[in-house]
Amino acid sequence: MKKRLKGTELKKLIAEYREIKIKIRKSYQTRHVEKLEEIKHRYYHETGRTLESDYEDLHS
């Protein structure tokens, strides 16, 4: 049985997403894009929602 993420762990995932988005804006690197996709996939798997939509809701 897989362990679900706690609220604080989801917040850390969102913070990591934000940091990588900033790094991509500064210098586009394939490893950042791959990490970003991994984070988005994990967030969707854990919550059933897309990270982009939740992130926009938090920062609009």
Tokens of 46: 């854990």
Whole-angstrom distance, CA of residue 40 vs CA of residue 58: 16
What pLDDT shows up at residue 2? 57
Predicted confidence at residue 11, as pLDDT, reads 87
**For residue 10, is pLDDT > 80?**
yes
Q: Would you say residue 53 has pLDDT above 90?
A: no
Q: Provide the percentage of residues in the chain whose pLDDT is more than 70.
A: 87
User: Would you state the pLDDT for residue 58?
Assistant: 64
Tens digits of per-residue pLDDT, 32-44?
889 999 999 998 9
pTM of the model: 0.67
Domain ranges for the chain: 13-58
